[in-house]
Structure 1
Amino acid sequence: MTSIALATCEELPSLVDDDASFLDALRDRGVTAEPTVWSDETVEWNDYDAVVVRSIWDYYKRPDEFSAWVDELDASSCTVLNSVETLRWNSHKFYLRDLERHGVSTLPTEYVEQGGDVSLTSVFDDRGWDELVVKPAVSAGAFETKRIGREDAEAEQSWVEALVAQKDVLVQEFADDITDGEWSVVFFGDEFSHAVVKRPESGDYRVQEKHGGSVHVETPSETLRDHARDVVDAVADEMGGDRPLYARVDGVERDGDFVLLEVELIEPELFFRVDADAGSLLSDAILDRL
């Protein structure tokens, strides 16, 4: 019998409720599927045929532990999905620069390495932006992320300098069209599965539900699906042909184009609750790889 560890975090030892249909679908197929805390040092990962990374939602707060865990998986005999190479690459948001080189439309961004120099006033002047967003390169859920207007550049300079002293940082143009909604387009292997639009609470820009955002089931146009698929194709090219098991492509529509904000390949919420077939599609995609 196939045994699979579904990697999760200490705060969610049984996975998130949204993954219930996926877990049921695996078990319906005769798979032994166990939610397993990624940071539990007593776990023997070699005991499993595969590790599917799901809700390790604290990894970005424990980057050294996460890196050591990925190395441990790499040295193990089990299949890891998404692959360890993908986990390493996608955990650091400078991957956006790689995708841009593959022709993916991304937000205009300044990539600032730890210890580097950055002047918010100069960025505003050079780029002609009125607002920008600063975020760490290793982050999730708007952690340590701040929206800054041109008029606040001097006041926020010391905060930015303190952040850059500790971490690699992205300084991005603020996407004001996010108030119209951020698409999350979900793929399992080669197949488009479903999509949602996330909208921020009035007066905010953060689309996460914990920050007041809301999720709406909507059907993307064929053009938008094609743009999102192009992102997944670019990921596969960057990974030497290794197509991810799952990918959530997040972005906004702008002037007939799709602008990528993130491609989530480590621990995304996959919104199984909005599509009755999604859990089965992902389960079949996993078994096809084992």
Structure 2
Amino acid sequence: MTSIALATAADLPDLVDDDASFLTALRDRGVTATPVVWSDESVAWGDFDAVVVRSVWDYYRRPEEFAAWIDRVDDASPTVLNAPGTLRWNRHKFYLRDLADRGVDTLPTEYVERGTEATLSDILDRRGWDEVVVKPAVSAGAFETKRIARESVAAEQPWFDDLVADRDVLVQAFAEDITAGEWSLVFFDGDYSHSVVKRPEAGDFRVQEDHGGSVAAETPSEPLRDRAREVVEAVGGERGGDAPLYARVDGIERGRGECETDDVDFRLLEVELIEPELFFRVDADAGGRLAEALLDRL
């Protein structure tokens, strides 16, 4: 019988509720699927036929420990999905620069390396921006993320200095279109599965439910789906040709609903390949689709 470890965080030992249909789909197919805490050093990862990374939601707070875990589980030689190289690449948001080099439309971004002497005012002046979002290169859930307007840059510079002293940082042009909603398009083995739109609470820009955001199932246009598929294909090209087992493409559609067109202006915010919420709850068949895609690889 196939045995699969579903890597999760210590404070989510049974996975998140949203993963229940995926877990059930695996067990319905005769798989022994066991949630296992990634940071538990007593785990013998080689005892499993595969390790699927799911709700390791604390990894960004323990980046060095997580990097060591990737090496350890890779050396244990089970099938790891997504692949260890993909995990290493995707955990640091400078991967967006790689995708931009492959022609993916991303938000205009200044990549500030740790220890760099940089000022927000210089960045805004040079780029011609009036408002930015600043975030660490290793983060999740809007951790240490701020929206900063030009008139506030002097007051926020000490915070920015402390952030850059400690970690690599992204400074991105603020996109007003985020208030209309952020798309999350989910793909399994390169094939489109389902989508949601996440919207921020009035007056905020953060779409996460922990920050007052909301989630609704919506059907993207075919051109929008194509743009998201191009992102997944670019990831495959960057990572040696193979599509990731699962991918969530997060982005905004600029000018959404303003006109009918055969194309869309889609800007990638992130492609989530480590521990994304996959919103199984909006599609009763999604858990089964991922289970089938996984078993096809084993």
- Provide the residue aligned with 1:276 in structure 2: 284
* Distance (whole Å) between structure 2 residues aligned to residue 17 and residue 190 of structure 1: 25
* Distance (whole Å) between structure 2 residues aligned to residue 203 and residue 93 of structure 1: 26
Read off the aligned partner of 2:246 and give its amino acid letter: Y
Read off the aligned partner of 1:79 and give its amino acid letter: T
What are the within-5 Å matches in structure 2 for residues 37-186 of structure 1? 37-186=37-186
- Provide the residue aligned with 2:27 in structure 1: 27
* Distance (whole Å) between structure 2 residues aligned to residue 287 and residue 118 of structure 1: 48
Aligned-residue Cα RMSD (Å) equals 0.6
- Structure 1 residue 243: deviation in Å? 1.1
Read off the aligned partner of 2:21 and give its amino acid letter: S
- Structure 1 residue 190: deviation in Å? 2.3
Read off the aligned partner of 1:269 and give its amino acid letter: E
- Provide the residue aligned with 2:259 in structure 1: none
Read off the aligned partner of 1:144 and give its amino acid letter: E
Matched, 1:235 2:235: yes
SS in 1 for 2:276: coil
- Structure 1 residue 196: deviation in Å? 0.3
Question: Gaps spanning 5+ residues in structure 2: where?
Answer: 256-263
Read off the aligned partner of 2:133 and give its amino acid letter: V
Question: Gaps spanning 5+ residues in structure 1: where?
Answer: none
Deviation per CA, 1:17-63: give whole Å up to 9, x if none.
Answer: 00000000000000000000000011000000000000000000001
Read off the aligned partner of 1:277 and give its amino acid letter: D
SS in 1 for 2:164: helix
* Distance (whole Å) between structure 2 residues aligned to residue 146 and residue 73 of structure 1: 34
* Distance (whole Å) between structure 2 residues aligned to residue 167 and residue 20 of structure 1: 35
- Structure 1 residue 182: deviation in Å? 0.1
Deviation per CA, 1:63-117: give whole Å up to 9, x if none.
Answer: 1110110000111120000000000000000000000001000000000110012
SS in 1 for 2:67: helix
SS in 2 for 1:93: coil
Read off the aligned partner of 1:159 and give its amino acid letter: W
- Structure 1 residue 130: deviation in Å? 1.3
With structure 1 as the length reference, what TM-score do the two structures score? 0.99
Matched, 1:266 2:274: yes
- Provide the residue aligned with 2:260 in structure 1: none
* Distance (whole Å) between structure 1 residues aligned to residue 96 and residue 118 of structure 2: 19
* Distance (whole Å) between structure 2 residues aligned to residue 2 and residue 74 of structure 1: 19
- Provide the residue aligned with 2:222 in structure 1: 222
Moved over 6 A (4+): none
* Distance (whole Å) between structure 2 residues aligned to residue 95 and residue 175 of structure 1: 20
Read off the aligned partner of 1:267 and give its amino acid letter: E
Read off the aligned partner of 1:157 and give its amino acid letter: Q
Read off the aligned partner of 1:242 and give its amino acid letter: D
Read off the aligned partner of 2:204 and give its amino acid letter: D
- Structure 1 residue 192: deviation in Å? 0.5
- Structure 1 residue 242: deviation in Å? 2.2
With structure 2 as the length reference, what TM-score do the two structures score? 0.96
Aligned residues between the structures: 290
Contact 2:190-2:233 within 8 A present in 1 as well: no
